[in-house]
Structure 1
Amino acid sequence: MDTKLSETTTSKRRVYADANHAPVTSVLPDGDVPYADHDMDADERVIMALGYKQEFKREFSLWTTFCVSFAVLGLLPSFASTLYYGMGYAGTAGMVWGWIIAMIFIQCVAMSMAELCSAMPTSGGLYYAAAVLAPPGYGPLAAWLTGWSNWIGQITAAPSVDYALSAMILAAVSISNPDYVPTTWQTFLLTTLIMIIHAAISSMPTKRVAQFNSYGSTFNIIALIATIIVIPAVAKSEPKFTPSKEVWGTITNQTDFPDGVAVLMTFVGVIWTMSGYDSPFHLSEECSNANIASPRAIVLTSGVGGVMGWFLQLVVAYTVVDISAVIDSDLGQPWASYLLQVLPQKAALGILGLTIICGFSMGQGCMVAASRVTYAYARDDCFPLSRIWKQVNPYTQTPVNAVILNAVLGILMCLLILAGSVAIGALFSIGAIAQFVAFAIPIFIRVFFVGHRFRKGPWHLGPFGPYIGGLGVAFVLLMVPILCLPSVTKGDLTPDLMNWTCLVYGAPMLAVLIWWVVDARKWFTGPKVNVEHSMHAVVSEGMEPEEHADAEVTTTSAKSAEDKL
């Protein structure tokens, strides 16, 4: 036994976090009691009961956590970045109906995730949940697949957002100076610069990051409301609005698939836009009152984002004049093309400027969320050189090394810009698929393997939990193949028009699965407990257990929890 630990055990009164009675679902075996040599507040007791030390300052509140996730959601820049998919596949009818239908099921996914977050408020999030809830023998595999899929989705978020942001900035320059034509190298270099700036901001102390995202999210909301008001008020076209019969009833199918499939294909824009609501889960170790505030932030983000996003869809659908001109514009950015089509140039530049500022805030929020995921997985030794990526900077108390790793990988992914718009566009579909697959795995396990035996946290869906989760999982299973479809088929399908999502996402996931079969299953055991704890003790708060085994630092993992449910 470690000498220092032995001395501490005999010389100091221990404070215990009883995993069996805390309102969380812990990876610790039943009866294990984590302890510390200091008084713990409610949040620290919860994270200790989950098996982790408190390593971050809890300086996020419900509001600031919501601000980060709403910034990651980035409705205005997200809509601007994915307008091609919504409008380009099925026209205005696809936009307005597609958003409503998709949002019903996305809300099911969000509420089921919030329920998991309340029961397991840790940075590992869905990865931790999959490990704990999986059937006996499958916890490490479930955690492995969930973790890698979620990580792939997280690290592609900031590069895709920053690429779209760079395209909008250069489009604004082109509008002001018609003789200027952006090159791919200029887009890449500007994207790289923005990635570096976001990495610097994300490496600051938690309090500063929270403040930055609070300001950014507030600006996002104001800019979105201003856009929804200004466009119909200032629109220059006559008549200003397209008749409702055409907006709602005319599907302008620009794919080689039936109308119904074309509408489903528009969901990629909705899914990518609405994939940021998991951020509160990953920030829960930095949030006070986490097992209530974090799930509330998830549902609030999805609900507010869904409603406001639909209003924006309606505004664009009713005011757009020529869809083909928007999609095929020489500006190379459909949102900028649309604004120039319906607004005077100064007003168009003003709205585009608001979108650019919102996009900057969104990219930074994506970088923060991704760094927390990388840190959480490195803490459990998922990556090569995990000992480096899991370090918390002693000055900022944030995972700076994880931020740097994500920034470098993001810049490398942005090299796809040089391969053309279709190649870099795959990042959007990858983010949508990777995130929703990761969302679905633990929800699927909770619904079909755990059911009503699920140990609920203080925020839960009551008896409706399994049914709501089932609807969310069914939606994901339907959408994964849809998101891999190209817009054209047969003789029209060329390498330039191919949807490379299945390859760019499928290849890494296949490699990860092969790695598991060949090697990782021998050493990867899921979430690792890094707190000191007594084995199978029955304790009262602040009291020594009457009987306990020798205390030790343990590497208890997901395998320890397999029989709990």
Structure 2
Amino acid sequence: MAARNNSTTSSVGAQQRDRKRSVAEEPVTSVLSGGDVPVPRDGETWDADEEVLAALGYKPEFKREFTLWTTFCVSFAVLGLLPSFASTLYYGMGYAGTAGMTWGWLVAMIGIQSVAASMAELCSSMPTSGGLYYAAAVLAGPRWGPLASWLTGWSNWFGQVTGAPSVNYGTAAMILAAASIQNPDYVPNDYQTFLLTIFIMIIHACMASFPTRWIAKVNSAGSTFNMIALVIVIIIIPAACDRTAHGLSKFNPSSAVWGDIYEGTSYPAGVSVLMSFISVIWTMSGYDSPFHLAEECSNANIASPRAIFMTSATGGIFGWFLQLVVAYTVVDIDTVLGSDLGQPFAAYLVDVLPKPVVLAVLSLTIIAGFAMGQGCMIAASRVTFAYARDDCLPFSFLLKKVNTRTRTPVNAVWFNSLVGCLVLLLIFGGSIAIGAIFSIGALAAFVAFTIPIFIRVFFVGNNFRPGPWNLGRFSIPIGVVASAFVALMVPILCLPSVTGSDLDASGMNWTAVVYGGPMILVMIWWVVSARKWFKGPKVNVQHMMLGNEGAVIEGKEAGSGSEDGEAVVVDGKGKAT
């Protein structure tokens, strides 16, 4: 009887192997072993996208209603060039002046585009909602994978969860600045800014709880408006510029725009330019969104990496045009930075444009900022869901639930909103304190972006199995540039703008504390407890195990191919390493 049962089981396994391809035949780098064969439950069928996801160890849970265009729209909305530029003008212009905005932007984009290209290559090979966190676990291997995944995941989450609050804070500040322009007797206070930002957060949380199809349409419209508004602003500012009212020429001379470095910090000019990169990095940190939406995108291992690369490239080009427009038309940097309006971009517009045009440009920027905050909320909720699915976060049992009606991670949306509202209490700590959320978003995001890229370049090498979208022989050199750029910028982003006796609590750069403090707690948690139970991404799809073709395994741990549930890297020939 036992022999007969074994024979029947082997026959079932053989039939399943004939029906489904093994992991080694899929264009993925997976936590599963190369010979494992994911199998659907009874009554289920998988399309090509779902087979790729199953080869990565996950069962399909979302509707794939995003396309290349709608995924790009969410990503471009998160990038939000116009509102991002407006929100971070204080750093871009205030640290190095127009030189940092012109050639400084170009230098920064070399590093940023390298990071985006390397990330897109990882996305093509591992198109999951976990994204960078999953990639770090697989690429670092059995010994270091859990720790690399833990650090990447938490750093990325810190960047994601502060995205919507920082964007919405900037939007609220612009709304109140517009009110001040309309009524000069009105001066907004911190309490009003806080309440307005919270109100915007609640609206976005409601919108992010919609079904995927609705979210795609809303973000497509928002992103389209964002692009149109950006082009309008780039055209309207030089066309309506009224610098002659100040007794100046129509535009600043090129020698001043490209050559004069504003002394906005206590450091040498070169360091000041590097410090101004915070504006570029924070503005250009939204292109990872297609990675986190990969499980909701059709043809994900091609469409998602394309969306990543397109977002960064398009944002870099149009962002530079916007920088040039402002650099050539700004009247006085000191006036812009010290205005009572509390919003440098609004102060700049008041200096160079007639009042009706100022209000029109601010209105376009505010609407674009609203769309950007919505995109940030969506991307962050997918990251939270992915990490909760692997029990990485507190209350994971609630956060990993997908709403049965909307088929979206509603619990994750509202959890992120609550955390974001608590972060916004920094408003009452002053401009330096709330400004830390911008540095955190830039620093946390790029640390998470680069950990798996660094591992892939310096430790995995040719054992990485690229997906259909890849960089070919340029993969390693581009990855080296990306890693070097972030290694340079991490300490730069933590520098205060003043030094010596001028440095006090009000001038301190709190990024190292606000980001470093939680990361230290995360590391303590790892040492004390998490290293004992956290093993990286958890497989939740049934699969036939390598070397035991007759047995269908109900996946629970990462890397079913090894006895202790550790991750396995599959090389280009489908061999486990």
Equivalent position SS for 1:39: coil
Q: Distance in 2 between the 1:387 and 1:94 partners?
A: 46
Which amino acid letter does the alignment assign opposite residue 556 of structure 1? E
Pick the aligned partner of 2:455 from 445, 457, 461: 445
Per the alignment, do residues 474 and 279 of structure 1 end up closer, same or farther by CA in structure 2, a change over 3 Å counting?
Answer: same
Cα contact 1:29–1:560 (8 A) shared by 2? no
- Render the CA deviation track for 1:276-318: whole Å, top value 9, x for unaligned: 0000000000000000000000000000000000000000000
Aligned counterpart, 1:542: none
Q: Report how many aligned residue pairs link the two structures.
A: 550
In the TM superposition, 1:68-467 aligns within 5 A as 68-238=74-244, 239-467=249-477
Q: CA offset at residue 548 of structure 1?
A: 2.0
Residues 529 and 135 of structure 1, relative CA distance in 2, 3 Å threshold: closer
CA contact (8 A) 1:91 1:323 kept: yes
Task: Confirm or deny: 8 A CA contact 2:141 2:567 kept in the other structure.
Answer: no
DSSP 3-state at the match of 1:487 = coil
Runs of 4+ in structure 1 displaced over 4 angstroms? 9-15
Query: Which one-letter code corresponds to 1:464 in the other structure?
Result: F
Amino acid at match of 2:101: M
Note the alpha carbon deviations across 1:23-80, whole angstroms, 9 max, x for none.
1111102211110133211000000110001000000000000000000000000000
Structure 2: which amino acid aligns with 1:32?
Answer: D
How far apart, in 1, do the equivalents of 2:427 and 2:447 lie?
25
Distance 1:92 1:461 in 2: 34
1:161-209 per-residue CA deviation (whole Å, 9 max, x = no partner) reads 0001100000001100111111111100000000000000000000000
SS at 2:339's partner residue? coil
Residue in 2 that maps onto 1:540 = none
State yes or no: 1:33 paired with 2:27: no
The aligned amino acid for 2:228 is I
Asked whether the equivalents of residues 208 and 215 of structure 2 are also in contact (C-alpha less than 8 Å), the reply is: yes
Aligned to 2:500: 490
- Verify the 8 A CA contact 1:17 1:35 in the aligned structure 2: no
Measured against aligned partners, the alpha-carbon deviations of 1:455-501 in whole angstroms (never above 9, x if no partner) come to 01000000110110010000000000000001100111111110000
CA distance in structure 2 between the partners assigned to 1:286 and 1:187 by the alignment: 35
For residue 552 of structure 2, what is the aligned residue in structure 1? 551
Structure 1 stretches of 5 or more lacking a match? 1-5, 538-546
In structure 2, the gaps of 5 or more residues are: 1-7, 560-564, 570-575
**TM superposition shift of 1:557:** 1.1
Q: Is the 8 A contact 1:320 1:342 kept in 2?
A: yes
User: SS of the residue aligned with 2:25?
Assistant: coil
SS in 1 for 2:469: coil
Structure 2 CA distance for aligned equivalents of residues 505 and 73 of structure 1:
21
What is the CA deviation profile of residues 86-108 of structure 1, one whole-angstrom value per residue up to 9, with x for unaligned ones?
10011101111210000011000
CA offset at residue 17 of structure 1?
4.4
* TM-score where L is the length of structure 2: 0.94
User: Which residue type is aligned with residue 167 of structure 2?
Assistant: V
8 Å contact from structure 1 (residues 17, 46) kept in 2? no
The counterpart of 2:62, out of the listed 56, 61, 79, is: 56
Name the CA distance, whole Å, in 2 between partners of 1:59 and 1:199: 20
Q: Give distance in 2, aligned partners of 1:62 and 1:448.
A: 31
Is contact 2:436-2:510 (8 Å) kept? yes
CA change 1:179–1:13 in 2 (3 A) is farther
Describe the superposition over 1:77-131 as per-residue Cα deviations: whole angstroms up to 9, x where unpaired: 0000000001001110111121000001100000000000000000000000000
3-state secondary structure, aligned to 1:534: strand
Structure-1 separation of matches of 2:395 and 2:100: 46
- When the two structures are superposed, what TM-score results if normalisation uses the length of structure 1? 0.95
Question: Identity of aligned pairs, percent?
Answer: 66
Query: How far, CA to CA, are the matches of 1:253 and 1:172 in structure 2?
Result: 29
Deviations 1:327-354 (A, max 9, x none): 0000000000001100000000000000
State the shift of 1:452 in Å.
2.2
Alpha-carbon distance in 2 for matches of 1:143, 1:17: 27
Measured in 1, the distance between the counterparts of 2:45 and 2:393 equals: 34
